[in-house]
Amino acid sequence: MSDNITILGIESSCDDTSAAVIRDGILLSNVIASQSVHEEYGGVVPELASRAHQQNIVPVVKAALDRAGVDKHELSAIAFTRGPGLLGSLLVGTSFAKGLSLGLRCPIVDVNHLHGHVLSHFIRRKADDAVPEYPFLTLLISGGNSQLVLVKNYNDMTILGATIDDAAGEAFDKCAKVMGLPYPGGPHIDRLAQEGDPKKFKFAKPHIPNLDYSFSGLKTSFLYTLRDALKTDPEFIEKNRADLAASLQRTIIDILLDKLDKAVKQTGVKTVAIGGGVSANSGVRQAIADYCDRHGLRAFIPERAFTTDNAAMVAIAGYFKYLDKQFCGYDEVPFARVQI
């Protein structure tokens, strides 16, 4: 039976302006406006990001409501990303959510962006879509995070391990930059890797205790391999592009899987999920599916649309908080940094 709980989600933590509508847990729309303005700078420029959010937010929210076939007066609550992220970007979504909620007299719900990534597996397109059973383990891998999270409930998550230096996405992006590939380099490495030999080059893997990650040694080892080879062959990168990408991607996957395997054994979970921008990587997706197959585990691999920043994950996280009546006050402010 339908309760008609309708949540508008708003995401503006970095360089994607997104709005989504979820009714009773089912996704009705998810609109994302990406910002191409950053491409020529080789990374996200915070000031330009917040200006673009200002331009995008009204048309994006309108498009999400229109596509969902929902009138704004039907909204039960507005969920928005409160952090972590770029403060100027977060302020746009937060202020918009507050203004709209005051106008409509409906409550606001604040969402931790990282919770959104973890909970993206609960976004359903139809009522009988499968969702994970608690507890499950999430490998959260993005440009800013590499974490192993034990998820006991929608509001009960424990970080079992995290990167002590670079995130997996940074390893992709920084190595891609050394190869002369555009930003963000992750998708380019992914594409090139499909034609390369993953065993051609060997790069350093970290030896750190517990469930933490480290990618800075790999980055240095990649850089030194290229620097040394270029001394004798100036066309080394050009000639080995695909093999370099495949070997780099293989090493990152090995590092990720090594700690994931330890975490699975420590916790005894039966379900493994991935989330965050790097979970769009074809090699990572295949490796997780194969690992779960081999170990008799259930794998949850998100639709590609839900790997990068999107408001559908904010709306579903907001929906769970709404059911628990966990609303946010108008005096609450965004957080640039916040843990899961």
Longest dimension (CA), the chain: 70
Distance CA 251, CA 228 (A): 19
Distance CA 114, CA 146 (A): 11
Stretch that binds ligand KG4, among 47-55, 147-155, 182-190, 287-295 (CB under 6 A): 182-190
- Contact between 302 and ligand KG4 per CB under 6 A: no
Which of 25, 83, 116, 143 is the binder for ligand KG4 (CB under 6 A)? 143
Q: For ligand KG4, which is the closer residue by CB, 277 or 318?
A: 277
Distance of alpha carbon 95 from the chain centroid: 23
Structure tokens at 249: 């991607």
Q: For ligand KG4, which is the closer residue by CB, 75 or 149?
A: 149
CB distance 182 to 40 below 8 Å = no
The footprint of ligand KG4 on this chain (CB under 6 A) covers a number of residues equal to: 19
CB of 131 to ligand KG4, least distance (A): 21
Comparing every residue's Cβ against ligand KG4, the nearest one is: 277
Which of 139, 281, 292, 320 is the binder for ligand KG4 (CB under 6 A)? 281
CA distances (Å), origin 39, targets 45, 46, 184: 10, 13, 8
Distance CA 249, CA 20 (A): 32
Rg of the chain over Cα atoms, rounded to whole angstroms, equals 21
Structure tokens at 121: 């597996």
Distance CA 68, CA 200 (A): 49
- Contact between 251 and ligand KG4 per CB under 6 A: no
- Contact between 186 and ligand KG4 per CB under 6 A: yes
CB of 152 to ligand KG4, least distance (A): 23
Which string of x and - marks every residue 33-72 that binds ligand KG4 (by CB under 6 A)?
----------------------------------------
Stretch that binds ligand KG4, among 22-30, 58-66, 221-229, 277-285 (CB under 6 A): 277-285
CB of 251 to ligand KG4, least distance (A): 13
- Contact between 161 and ligand KG4 per CB under 6 A: no
CB of 320 to ligand KG4, least distance (A): 20
- Contact between 11 and ligand KG4 per CB under 6 A: no
CB of 14 to ligand KG4, least distance (A): 5
Structure tokens at 284: 């990572």
* Strand bridging mode 108-112 / 16-23: unpaired
CB distance 40 to 58 below 8 Å = no
- Of 3, 12, 83, nearest to 53 (Cα)? 12
CB of 306 to ligand KG4, least distance (A): 10
In one-letter notation, the amino acid at residue 171 is: A
- Contact between 172 and ligand KG4 per CB under 6 A: yes
Q: Of how many residues is the chain composed?
A: 340
Q: Where along the sequence are the contacts to ligand KG4 (CB under 6 A)?
A: 14, 142-144, 169, 172-173, 184-187, 190, 276-278, 280-281, 308-309
